[in-house]
Amino acid sequence: MNATVYAQGWTLDDVAWERFDPSKVEPWILTAVKAAALVEFNAPDYVTYLKRIFTDAPTQAAIEEWGREESQHGRALGRWAELADPEFKLDETFARFRTGYRPAHFQSETLTSVRGSRRGEMIARCVVESGTSSYYSAVRDATDEPVLKEIAGRIAADEYRHYKLFFETLNAQAEPDLPFWKKLMVAVGRINESDDDELSFAYYCATVPKGQEAARPYVRTQCAKASYATTLRIYRRRHVQKLAQMVSKAVGADPQGRVTKLAGALLWRMLRMRAGLIGVAAETAA
């Protein structure tokens, strides 16, 4: 599928907001965008954490630029969501999200990565950027709303560049290379962290207004399952396979090899299982 490839350095003023078409907004994808906006807008906490680990000036400057771009992604997605649903307010909803989602390593003053090494940290970041690049490519392909299609395309291109940044940073570390099994453990561990509160609580904040919190309290397992179900409506197998290829490269495996193809198939099944869709007719469109 051909798609416009956007250059780095865009701003919100570059987006063709006047093309917004409310008739092409689908409620389920609006929910996904609201949740994604909260996660993207939370970049400053990640910047602070990463700068404690990577102390050289060039890497810190690159991390700061990455954080600015991530925050802009959140602002762009949030502005679109506010157009689609005038009752949604990004800043107010984000304040709720940030209060409820405060992982321990964001609050710690440790100078050591929770992954055990700087190389491990960069592998984990590559996993995340693999996921976001494929996800926003999927959003771009799933929506017919022209402004969201443009925003998702711009973000997908940025996320791919972020993957390249972290991959280069990984290979620039003076630390000894990690054995393959340890790289794989870091990657699998980071993928499994998608079960933590970040995505599920973002989904909760995106779907439950503040005034309804008492009547509809946060239940992580329920919100995680609902979040995965929404994600599966967006993804197609080709997007998941691309994710698997990018992760494989980060851990030193062959992106085009049989193991990577198997990993893509297993990841697709895992996503469907977590969404409660195993046993339901599969959506396997390429």
Question: Does 152 have pLDDT greater than 70?
Answer: yes
- Which one-letter DSSP state was computed for residue 256? T
- Domain range for 147 is 21-274
Identify the pLDDT of residue 280: 39
Residue with tokens 């030193």: 252
Identify the pLDDT of residue 277: 60
- Which one-letter DSSP state was computed for residue 110? -
- In-domain check, residue 2: no
Number of domains in the chain: 1
- In-domain check, residue 79: yes
Cβ(144)–Cβ(257) under 8 Å?
Answer: no
Identify the pLDDT of residue 109: 76
Residue with tokens 């994808």: 29
Rounded CA separation 107/146 (Å): 39
How many residues are there in the chain? 286
- In-domain check, residue 286: no
pTM of the model: 0.91
Rounded CA separation 176/232 (Å): 38
pLDDT tens for each residue of 75-93: 999 999 999 999 999 999 9
CATH number at residue 181: 1.10.620.20
Max Cα separation, the chain?
Answer: 55
**How does residue 193 score in pLDDT terms, banded at 50, 70 and 90?**
confident
Residues 6+ apart with CB under 8 A from 83: 17, 20, 22, 147
- In-domain check, residue 12: no
Q: What is the rounded average pLDDT for all residues in the chain?
A: 91
- In-domain check, residue 88: yes
Question: Does 121 have pLDDT greater than 60?
Answer: yes
Hey, what's the torsion of the CAs at 47, 161, 91, 109, to 10 degrees? -10
| Amino acid of residue 252 | G
- Three-state DSSP at 173 gives coil
| Amino acid of residue 97 | F
